[in-house]
């Protein structure tokens, strides 16, 4: 009985041994992944040539015409505010001032006479020695004399201003980048004789190559 069971048990073991002999598959290791931060590319830098110039460039000219008697500066010279740059021959301007002074003196004398006549005729009118119409004529004469006096005073002010304009002064400190006026030259009012680059802020003028886009604004 024991001998019969042994072959059966052996057969079961052989059948079990003849099963799938392939080892079970092993799990694959996860792949190695490297992460990097993504950032926007920075601005592209390139070199440009340009010119540095003053923010304010002032053309200089006389406010009256005349002959230049003296040039006191040269191109490239630094000047201070108020410094005299040019002077005109002011003999005609001085004569105009004297004539205006004489006109004003005559107008003031005429006004004084008209005022005295009016005062005297007012007294006469109060005593009924003259008519109301005559008094009105004297009042009108005084008003006209005052108007002429005021006009003469205005002309004298203009003549004195013109005499002062015979000296051209620097409106601000800076550098004279161009001087074209010369002694002996006759210039008109407003004719440029120099160009002043005022001290202070500067600008840079550059030319971008074709295809390049200028920035909307400069660096902060």
Instruction: List, for residues 134-158, the tens digit of each pLDDT value.
Output: 889 999 999 999 999 999 999 999 9
Closest CA to 87 of 168, 184, 18, 173: 168
Residues 6+ apart with CB under 8 A from 64: 88, 93, 162, 165, 166, 189
Residues 43-85: tens digit of each pLDDT: 556 677 777 778 899 999 999 999 999 999 999 999 999 999 9
Sign of CA dihedral 153, 154, 160, 163: negative
Pairing of strands 202-206, 50-54: antiparallel
Report how far residue 53's alpha carbon sits from residue 203's, in angstroms, rounded to the nearest whole number: 5
Structure confidence at residue 37 (pLDDT) = 65
Task: Record the tokens describing residue 88, joined without a space.
Answer: 């005109």
**Residue range 10-47, pLDDT digits in tens:** 454 444 555 555 556 665 666 665 665 666 555 556 67
Least Cα distance to 65 among 191, 177, 172, 195 occurs for: 191
Q: Are 166 and 88 in contact (CB under 8 A)?
A: yes
The total of other beta-carbon atoms located within 10 Å of residue 68's CB is 19
Q: Could you give the CA distance from residue 18 to residue 16 in angstroms, rounded to a whole number?
A: 5
Q: What is the number of helices (H) and of strands (E) in the chain?
A: 3, 10
pTM of the predicted structure, to 2 decimals: 0.66
Q: CATH number of 54-205: 2.40.50.100, 3.40.50.300, 3.30.420.480, 1.10.490.10?
A: 2.40.50.100
Instruction: Between 58 and 200, name the one with better pLDDT.
Output: 58
Q: What is the pLDDT of residues 76-135, one digit of tens each?
A: 999 999 999 999 999 999 999 999 999 999 999 999 999 999 999 998 888 888 888 888
């Amino acid at each position: 009985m024991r001998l019969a069971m042994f072959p059966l048990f052996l057969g079961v073991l052989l059948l079990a041994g003849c099963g799938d002999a392939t080892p079970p598959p092993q799990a694959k290791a996860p792949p190695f992944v490297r992460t990097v931060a993504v950032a926007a590319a920075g601005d592209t830098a390139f070199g440009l040539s340009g010119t540095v110039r003053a923010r304010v460039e002032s053309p200089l000219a006389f406010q009256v015409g005349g002959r230049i008697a003296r040039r006191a500066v040269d191109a490239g010279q630094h000047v201070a505010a108020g410094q005299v740059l040019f002077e005109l021959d002011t003999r005609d301007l001085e004569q105009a001032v004297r004539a205006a002074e004489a006109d004003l003196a005559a107008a003031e004398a005429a006004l004084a006479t008209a005022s005295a006549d009016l005062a005297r005729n007012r007294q006469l009118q109060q005593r009924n020695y003259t008519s109301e119409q005559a008094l009105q004529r004297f009042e009108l004469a005084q008003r006209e004399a005052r108007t002429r006096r005021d006009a003469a005073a205005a002309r004298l002010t203009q003549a004195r201003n013109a005499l002062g304009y015979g000296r051209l002064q620097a409106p601000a400190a800076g550098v004279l980048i161009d001087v074209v006026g010369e002694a002996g030259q006759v210039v008109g009012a407003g004719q440029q004789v120099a160009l002043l680059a005022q001290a202070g802020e500067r600008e840079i003028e550059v030319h971008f190559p074709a295809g390049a886009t200028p920035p909307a604004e400069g660096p902060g």
